Structure 1
Amino acid sequence: MQALILNDSVFLEGFHRLEELFHELTSLYLGVLSPEEIWTAEAAYEGWWRIARQLPPAGTTCPCRTRRPDHDGQNAPVAPGPCLGAVKGRCLHVIESNHVDLATLELLHGLLSRSGGERTTQLAEALKDIERPGERLVDDFRRIIATLRLQPPPELMAALRAATASHATARIHLNPAQNRAYRAFLRRFEQTFYRDGRPEPDTARHQ
């Protein structure tokens, strides 16, 4: 299945932060956690890695944001970029994910969530050691999974495929219907990842 990820700095930082969680669970707690917990953490780590290699590192500034948008008649203003298309100066990353990887991420999240409620398990102790002060790592994990599961609008995906069929850095021109689909997806992204007191969306500054 394909997913569409905006080049959002807060999302990318949270996504890549999960590597520390997976690494510590699978390396520092091998003799502490149960075999089921270790297997789940290792499987989730592998699934995370297959997605991570398709996204830029945390802290990477999208080059598209520094370009001046072009205007093409009635079409929406767009900008070129090195990602799989850039719409209105924001890169869009089209990634391939599979149901098994997402399921193992959800399985590990479920184990972490339940352990946090019990507060007496070895996994809960491990999580307490890994979390930074003020961090809500399990909740951030949930938001990231939900964002990865967002279904991209068919109209927008069609525009991306058509524009990048011959060149991965092609300019993306959206007609009114595709532009509405893009904006609807932007709202869904924000509603899914940013809520309940999260920081101001990186995407909120995008007009």
Structure 2
Amino acid sequence: MHVLVPEDPVFMTRFLAMEDPLLHSLYYFYLRDLPPGHAETIRTAYEGWADIQYRMPPCLHWQEMAVRRAPRPRDREGYTLLGRGGAPLTCLHAVEMNAESIAVLKACHALLVEAESDGVGPLARALGEIAEHGRNTVDDFRRVVDVLQLQAPPRLLGSLRRAAPAGRATAISLDGTQQAEYEAFCDRIVRTLSAGDRFTYAMHRALYF
């Protein structure tokens, strides 16, 4: 299956946070304390996250993209996405993913929500300790999984599959219909990742519109 992944620092920050602090901490510091079924769910989710991260294009491995001040290294360049009139757009990357990797993340999120709701047990205690560092990592986890499950418009996806680095095209120009699909899809990304915080939502939306 192909997923449209945005070259978006908000998405990438939250995607990376699924691993550190959440999955990394659960795997390396708490796994032995968890019931076997919970431990297996965490283990397979970590493997699923790593599989998805491995499939990301090189420009999305550039973890400093959120604070990038210099051009990307040449070997990490992707493509240029242009809208009507040649206006540059935030790139979407058509990434071929294993549906099972997304499914195990979804199952892991369900387990984390259940543990938080119960409020007792080793997993709930672990999540409480991890949450002391700041963000609601379980909610961010959900938001990223929801973005990975967004169904891409077929016509837009077909065009973007031609883009570098997976394809040969170094520039893609969208026609009016494709741009309408692009804008609707990106609006769903922004709402999924940033709804609930008016300031964050407005700043995030400005990346696309």
Q: Is the 8 A contact 1:84 1:160 kept in 2?
A: no
Residue 98 of structure 1: how far off its partner (Å): 2.1
Report matched runs for 1:169-184 at 5 Å: 170-184=170-184
- 2:92 partner SS: strand
Structure having the higher helix fraction is 2
Equivalent residue number for residue 41 of structure 2: 40
Equivalent residue number for residue 65 of structure 2: 60
Q: Is the 8 A contact 1:8 1:203 kept in 2?
A: no
- 1:145 partner SS: helix
Equivalent residue number for residue 77 of structure 1: none
- C-alpha distance in structure 1 between counterparts of 2:28 and 2:39, whole Å: 9
Residue 166 of structure 1: how far off its partner (Å): 9.1
Residue 134 of structure 1: how far off its partner (Å): 4.2
Residue 203 of structure 1: how far off its partner (Å): 3.8
Equivalent residue number for residue 150 of structure 2: 150
Size of the aligned set, in residue pairs, is: 193
Equivalent residue number for residue 206 of structure 1: 208
The amino acid that maps onto 1:42 is R
Give the gaps of 5 or more residues in structure 1: 67-80
Give the gaps of 5 or more residues in structure 2: 83-87
Equivalent residue number for residue 50 of structure 2: 49
TM-score, scaled relative to structure 2? 0.81
Equivalent residue number for residue 81 of structure 2: 86
Residue 170 of structure 1: how far off its partner (Å): 1.3
- 1:130 partner SS: helix
CA displacement, residues 55-87 of structure 1 (integer Å, 9 cap, x when unaligned): 334331598x97xxxxxxxxxxxxxx9225534
Residue 89 of structure 1: how far off its partner (Å): 3.7
- TM-aligned CA distance change 1:98 to 1:165, over 3 Å: closer
- C-alpha distance in structure 2 between counterparts of 1:150 and 1:164, whole Å: 22
- C-alpha distance in structure 2 between counterparts of 1:84 and 1:170, whole Å: 4
Q: Is the 8 A contact 1:83 1:92 kept in 2?
A: no
- C-alpha distance in structure 2 between counterparts of 1:95 and 1:147, whole Å: 13
The amino acid that maps onto 1:204 is A
CA displacement, residues 166-204 of structure 1 (integer Å, 9 cap, x when unaligned): 954511011111111111111111122221227234342
The amino acid that maps onto 1:45 is Y
Q: Is the 8 A contact 1:85 1:168 kept in 2?
A: no
**CA RMSD, 1 decimal:** 2.7
Equivalent residue number for residue 29 of structure 1: 30
Q: Is the 8 A contact 1:10 1:202 kept in 2?
A: yes
